[in-house]
Amino acid sequence: MNVILGTVILYARDMHKTAAFYSQHFGLVTTGEVVEGLIELQAPGGGAGILIHQAAKSVKLGQVGVKLSFHVPDVPAFAQAAEKKGLRFGAVHQANGYLFANAKDPDNNSVSISSRAFRLRPESPEA
């Protein structure tokens, strides 16, 4: 069975503000229109889309159970460009062959930028 993660659903206090955040800072495409109670955002270069759903007053937002990680080839350059548009990432961290940095969306959900998908992998020895 071929399983593909196609959509992440985020609950938001202000659906339009959250949709605008992901559109402005991460390039996801949306009409901003609420259809069937959701605002849909699509990744123009491929990858999972996001559906923004109105959070009930009882929903506790901003927990660390989920973090959205966006793949970027140059973490410091992306973070610098994002800051010019009003999104400040924390410190850039070095991991095992890649960099990453963290921020929060308008609903206090964790988001990160990471170059992990672009890291160079050592060639595997031939068997």
Q: Are strands 99-104 and 93-94 parallel, antiparallel or unpaired?
A: antiparallel
Any domain includes 72: yes
On the question of pLDDT at 122 being above 70, the answer is no
Residue 83 inside a domain? The answer is yes
Question: Does residue 49 lie within any of the structural domains?
Answer: yes
| pLDDT on residue 90 | 97
Look up the CATH number of the domain holding residue 42. Answer: 3.10.180.10
Tokens of 50: 């996001």
- pLDDT for 127: 47
Is pLDDT above 60 for 57?
A: yes
Percentage helix, strand, coil for the chain under 3-state DSSP, each rounded to 5? 20, 30, 50
**pLDDT over 80 at 17, yes or no:** yes
User: For residue 46, is it within any domain?
Assistant: yes
Domain that holds residue 21: 7-118
- Is 100 part of a structural domain of the chain? yes
- Specify if 127 maps to a domain: no
Percent of the chain surpassing pLDDT 90:
63
Tens of pLDDT, residues 85-99:
999 999 999 988 899
Mean confidence (pLDDT) of the chain: 89
Total number of domains in the chain: 1
pLDDT at residue 58, as a whole number? 84
**Do the domain assignments include residue 85?**
yes
